[in-house]
A and B are shown apart, each in its own frame.
Chain A
């Protein structure tokens, strides 16, 4: 089965908070990342967290990591229409550093 799973779709109103969730299966995952992909564009690195951390905040973005449940979330505060995109969760281990991606969550922000 999938190593990294995400829900397909999330719709929020402008100004609300968005929470995008991700689960992974490999307990040896040491680095977890969030990337954003806008239509026709590449993958933009948003933020990342090491497995020895529980939380990381960067301006409007908050990442929460629950290692026991292998659950990662990305909270976007005060969501704007410009945040509409596909968000990918990814994990890597120490060796090789190849990224394993989830299927992506399409975030739609309604005005």
Chain B
């Protein structure tokens, strides 16, 4: 158990809909990262938050947004969903942002029908 909690584990929805994925980092970790794992793109970094502030942005679509709350949990919002958004979405956390190893949750599997 990595200590990173993601909910829900599975999500099935339709094109055009909006979903929210939730992540609780390990106790004491200030940085949260979101990654997308798909068959065609592999594992790709989406966005990082550190202590409530956006720290780095990767290949995140404009339809996607995220935030980190004062209690350090984070949410990833995906809107106007398309079939290609079907993937496994991982959250990871680390103590700081500077080279400390990231610990991953079990992911949320999103299926778009």
Partners in one complex: yes
Q: Which residue of A lies closest to B33 (CB)?
A: A98
- Among the stretches B40-48, B61-69, B77-85, the one at the interface with A is B40-48
Q: Are B101 and A42 in contact (CB under 8 A)?
A: no
Q: Which residue of B lies closest to A90 (CB)?
A: B43
Tell me if B105 is interfacial: C-beta within 8 Å of chain A. Answer: yes
Q: Are B45 and A100 in contact (CB under 8 A)?
A: yes
Q: Are A42 and B43 in contact (CB under 8 A)?
A: no
Q: Are B101 and A33 in contact (CB under 8 A)?
A: yes
Q: Are A42 and B107 in contact (CB under 8 A)?
A: yes
Report the separation of the CA atoms of residues A33 and B94 in the bound assembly, to the nearest whole angstrom.
14
Given A41-B106, A42-B90, A104-B42: A96 touches B55 (CB 8 Å cut-off): yes
Tell me if B56 is interfacial: C-beta within 8 Å of chain A. Answer: yes
Q: Are B106 and A30 in contact (CB under 8 A)?
A: no
CB 8 Å contact bits of B93-104 with A (1 = contact, 0 = none): 010011111111
Q: Are A98 and B58 in contact (CB under 8 A)?
A: yes
- Which of chain B's residues have a CB closer than 8 A to the CB of A95? 56
Report the separation of the CA atoms of residues A33 and B102 in the bound assembly, to the nearest whole angstrom.
9
Where the two chains meet, the residues of A that have a C-beta atom closer than 8 Å to any C-beta of B are: 30-31, 33, 35, 41-45, 48, 50, 88, 90, 92, 94-104
Where the two chains meet, the residues of B that have a C-beta atom closer than 8 Å to any C-beta of A are: 2, 4, 31, 33, 35, 42-45, 48, 55-56, 58, 90, 92, 94, 97-107
Q: Return 24 A-B CB contacts under 8 Å, by A number.
A: A33-B102, A35-B104, A42-B2, A42-B104, A42-B107, A45-B102, A50-B99, A97-B33, A97-B48, A97-B56, A97-B98, A97-B99, A97-B100, A98-B33, A98-B45, A98-B48, A99-B33, A99-B35, A99-B43, A99-B92, A101-B43, A103-B42, A104-B42, A104-B43
